[in-house]
Structure 1
């Protein structure tokens, strides 16, 4: 069984669940008929606001808050947009158009004002959250001191592209409407969002770092090239923007290369701080330590159970199923007590039409871990399929 997935996208979004050691202040702020959940890492000076991608809540940033706090000593603010995380949504407002990007930015503005953070600020955003950073900077050009954009949309969904995406989601929309109001309204208003944002720009006097992924999350060559070209054009047409391609990183760049993102945020922050030299020194110390630790982590990962598991699934993704089976077989030889290794081998065996051997592997996975839900589900499915064939 695959232990983790590469970042997936729903209209500029990815889903990550990570933990943090940073002590935070949790608060629900009333913004009118609903409440927005904010988490604040206390600090001094200009705050840094983090805006998550579509479908995400503020917890996606947890893994990088500690080092940024230590480097900058700044107040760090994450939050959940209406309908996500623990933020509520205005159920009295039934007009879908009133739940769009303008409503989101107004929620944020009210929340920041009530919290006392409606002054100078640095913005960091991912994916769909880039819309909020651009919009906030355009509405408050004198307050925003710097922006870090992490694989955000730059006009990609114009020229009919957003209609193509929405056409693939007809079956999902009723489910979202029932169970996930935040995602539903984001989808229902995305065309209007794209139209509004096509006319919005970050003012030229505000320094911007723009990241683009090195491992495409889009599927076709046309889509991949369009995404990259949009980023190249954005950098070329804005003298205040520094473009960075995050090699060997997917959509969640701060997950794939934390130190790259953390030092970039620190650089932007230092440029607007009176403690510039001190912050730069802290960032350098962090970068040296992080780089060395990264090498140690890579060495520990290489040829580990997770490394072999990842390699095997990469081969499955390329439809090299027999090669994948050999890698998973090696994994169970090296890690004979791993339920997950047997589960993965079973999956590869099914793909190479070795059903009886696969069944043995799934049974072994359950023997090692009686709570192995995936193995149980697969065996149940195999049993049902066999029963159908008999009839």
Structure 2
């Protein structure tokens, strides 16, 4: 298996790992300020079956630092540039965690010819804070304001500015009719730190992502009560099983054309 390497993307070094396998290519997009290590729990197993590419966005992991605010559109363009640099000439199964879902959704709409399937794992959504507001508007505004301050004070990666903008993101049919799987956690918290983690919010979170996935003709929602925000770490076998299922869906669809 190949070791982590670096490639120039728009003149800056980007860290990546490419398993070099044949057939279907999986592109793994990390969440938040995470680097490609976000996927360590499932990467080795997937790399035995497919060509798997994972990378750290500029500003994250061991990629070059950045001195500007990035939008999901710019990150999507850099994912495209990475695939070109690695000479990936077939559509990928795009697998994204958390904030990475912003990038994957933009990418799928912007470069539909380059995506053959989409998987979003605990995806951040432009509608998630609406859940808090629907439960208790006054308390929600207090909590949201504090979380924003904590994010900035904690030196989080600048994609959080994009995250808090809550701009509308592409849905179906802006994202074409491709196989789509969403994995979302509805596990309840013993002591919810925010409205967002209350039992009522967990239920609404599951409904939000179930509805989103099912707007796609080939959509599927998987709700888990066995892990919180990192199913790929807490339930790696389940996530791998769903990825294998998604890939098989792609292969079956190709065989029927």
For Structure 1 versus Structure 2, the TM-score category normalised by the shorter chain is: 0.7 to 0.9
Q: Distance in 2 between matches of 1:166 and 1:39?
A: 37
Among candidates 165, 170, 187, match of residue 149 of structure 2: 170
- TM-score normalised by length of structure 2: 0.81
Residues 1:251 and 2:223 are matched in the alignment? no
Measure how far apart 1:241 and its partner are: 0.8
Among candidates 242, 246, 267, match of residue 220 of structure 2: 242
Deviations 1:212-268 (Å, cap 9, x if unpaired)?
114146433443233122113213433321111123222111222222111111121
Alignment of 1:260-299 (within 5 A): 260-273=238-251
Q: Distance in 1 between matches of 2:207 and 2:31?
A: 21
Q: Distance in 1 between matches of 2:186 and 2:6?
A: 37
8 A Cα contact 2:186 2:202, kept in partner: no
8 A Cα contact 2:188 2:225, kept in partner: no
Q: Distance in 2 between matches of 1:103 and 1:60?
A: 21
Q: Distance in 2 between matches of 1:216 and 1:187?
A: 25
Considering Cα pairs closer than 8 Å and 6+ residues apart, tell me whether 1 or 2 has the greater RCO. 2
Q: Distance in 2 between matches of 1:235 and 1:133?
A: 14
Q: Secondary structure at the match of 1:203?
A: coil
Residues 1:48 and 2:22 are matched in the alignment? no
8 A Cα contact 2:108 2:115, kept in partner: yes
Q: Distance in 2 between matches of 1:58 and 1:148?
A: 16
Among candidates 101, 121, 134, match of residue 150 of structure 1: 121
Q: Secondary structure at the match of 2:167?
A: helix
8 A Cα contact 1:51 1:124, kept in partner: yes
- TM-score normalised by length of structure 1: 0.55
Larger fraction in strand: 2
Measure how far apart 1:43 and its partner are: 0.4
Among candidates 89, 93, 97, match of residue 122 of structure 1: 93
Q: Distance in 1 between matches of 2:90 and 2:34?
A: 26
Gaps of 5+ in 2: 134-139, 190-195
Q: Distance in 1 between matches of 2:209 and 2:122?
A: 9
Measure how far apart 1:87 and its partner are: 0.8
Q: Alpha carbons of 1:62 and 1:239: their partners in 2 closer, same or farther (altered >3 Å)? A: same
Among candidates 47, 51, 60, match of residue 38 of structure 2: 60
Size of the aligned set, in residue pairs, is 239
Q: Alpha carbons of 1:204 and 1:114: their partners in 2 closer, same or farther (altered >3 Å)? A: closer
Q: Distance in 1 between matches of 2:176 and 2:161?
A: 31
Q: Alpha carbons of 1:172 and 1:267: their partners in 2 closer, same or farther (altered >3 Å)? A: closer
8 A Cα contact 1:39 1:78, kept in partner: yes
Measure how far apart 1:200 and its partner are: 4.4
In terms of Rg, which structure is larger?
1
Residues 1:138 and 2:106 are matched in the alignment? no
Larger fraction in helix: 1
8 A Cα contact 1:204 1:240, kept in partner: no
Q: Alpha carbons of 1:235 and 1:172: their partners in 2 closer, same or farther (altered >3 Å)? A: closer
Deviations 1:161-213 (Å, cap 9, x if unpaired)?
6975354332552451xxxxxx2412223233x2042x444634200111111
